[in-house]
Amino acid sequence: MTKKTSNNYGSAIREGFAYLLKKYPEVFVIGQGLWSPWYVGNSMTGLDKEFGIERIIDTPVAESACTGAAVGAALAGMKPIMVHPRMDFMLYAMDAIVNQAAKWSSMMGGQAHAGVTIRAIINRGGEQGAQHSQALHSWFAHIPGLRVVMPYSVSDARDLLIASALSGDPVIYIDDRWLYSNVEKLEPVSELDLKTQGPKIIKSGGDLTLVSAGYSTHLALEASKILSVEGIEAEVIDMRVLSPISPKAIIESVAKTGRLVTVDGGWSPAGFAGEIIATVTEGISPKLLKSSPRRVTLPFAPAPSAPALEKIYYPTPEDVVKVSRATFSD
């Protein structure tokens, strides 16, 4: 990444919030820890001072009611952003997200929409263990009615947050604390239409397609550098929007490279890495595949807290390299 300015992933998110709060009076932010934002890195620092505690609402310990309230406020004309500093705690709010927000438009015949953005932060590592670590994007990508956004780049961290809040649909916006120190020079904000956003090729290559989102894209990109030294040019595709999925760019890439490796910070079974493989294999002729598609995911176990186990639990660029190499020996 270029280090031209001080805009990092966390401060870019903060810029997204500030942009929305300044321009749209119907935007407000609600969630736990917002008046003491060490919970969320540097991504919300001082917003309460700048925009007032009426619009930056720190709440009782009530994920379920607060998320439901954000949904209800959206139905009454606001553009709320609900913040869950750890996705694990958000599981208390599944009714509001899955039964209410996701289905509202459909149930009501398209006459009302729960335009709420739910920011879920993946906050793992540091020996935090099983309940402070989960990346559950695959769950939400399974549900019709939700849009699921997982920015990797610093500019996406800002611009997809803005696009989510303005989309009019319920959006699960998932950011990863492990990306917060990434730095990028940002262009001025241009409001994106979330509907039109999809996968982006962030590195071109003709030998292998790596598909990922969020922090996994960081792994894929690092892996591609190592592979390049070995003479393997990987095409790296950052998904950005996990649902509704736009598969065209991935399918075209695999049709070109003949090899697919998906990288995902979740578990394999019924997961997003497998979904990408299924979507691609359904979409191209099997003759075009030069090897079996493969995936790099977490071991099928809850996150450990012991440092020795944690070290082998989370995938590394080397893991991605290893699996990528294997596609050349089928």
Partner 1 sequence: MKFDNGIDSLGTEGLSLNCNPSLNLDMRAQQELIDQLYLMIHIRFIEHKIANMRKMGHIGGPVHLGAGQEAIAVGISRYLRKSDKIFSGHRSHAHLLAMGSDPYRLFAELLGRSTGLTKGMGGSMHLWDGPNGIYGAVPIVSGTVPLAVGAALALKMQNKDDIAIAYFGDGAIEEGVVHESLNLARQLCVPVLFVCENNFFSSHMHISQRQPSNSIARFSRANEIETETVDGNNIIDVENAASRLIDIARNKKMPVFMEAITYRHYGHVDWQEDADVGINRSQSDLKLWKLKDPIVRLESALLEVNFLNKDELQKRKTDIHKEIDSAWKLAFDDTEPESKSLLNFVYKG
Catalog residues that contact partner 1 under the rule CB under 8 A: 28, 54-55, 57, 59-60, 62, 64-78, 80, 95-96, 99-100, 104-113, 115, 144-145, 147, 167-169, 193-195, 244
Q: Which residue type does 106 have? A: S
Of 147 and 295, nearer to partner 1 (C-beta) is 147
Contact between 42 and 10 under an 8 Å Cβ cutoff? The reply is yes
The DSSP bridge pattern shows strands 27-31 and 208-212 to be unpaired
For residues 114 and 117, what is the distance between their CA atoms, to the nearest angstrom? 9
The DSSP bridge pattern shows strands 260-267 and 56-58 to be unpaired
The DSSP bridge pattern shows strands 117-122 and 27-31 to be unpaired
| Structure tokens given for 225 | 């550098």
Of 69 and 160, nearer to partner 1 (C-beta) is 69
Backbone angles phi, psi at 316, to 5 degrees: -120, 170
Min CB(110)–partner 1 separation in Å:
4
Three-state DSSP class for residue 262? strand
| Structure tokens given for 143 | 């549900």
Of 205 and 247, nearer to partner 1 (C-beta) is 247
Of 143 and 219, nearer to partner 1 (C-beta) is 143
Tell me the C-alpha to C-alpha distance, in Å, between residue 282 and each of 76, 255, 257: 41, 12, 16
Of 66 and 277, nearer to partner 1 (C-beta) is 66
CA atoms within 13 A of residue 285's CA, in its CB half-sphere:
3
Of 195 and 203, nearer to partner 1 (C-beta) is 195
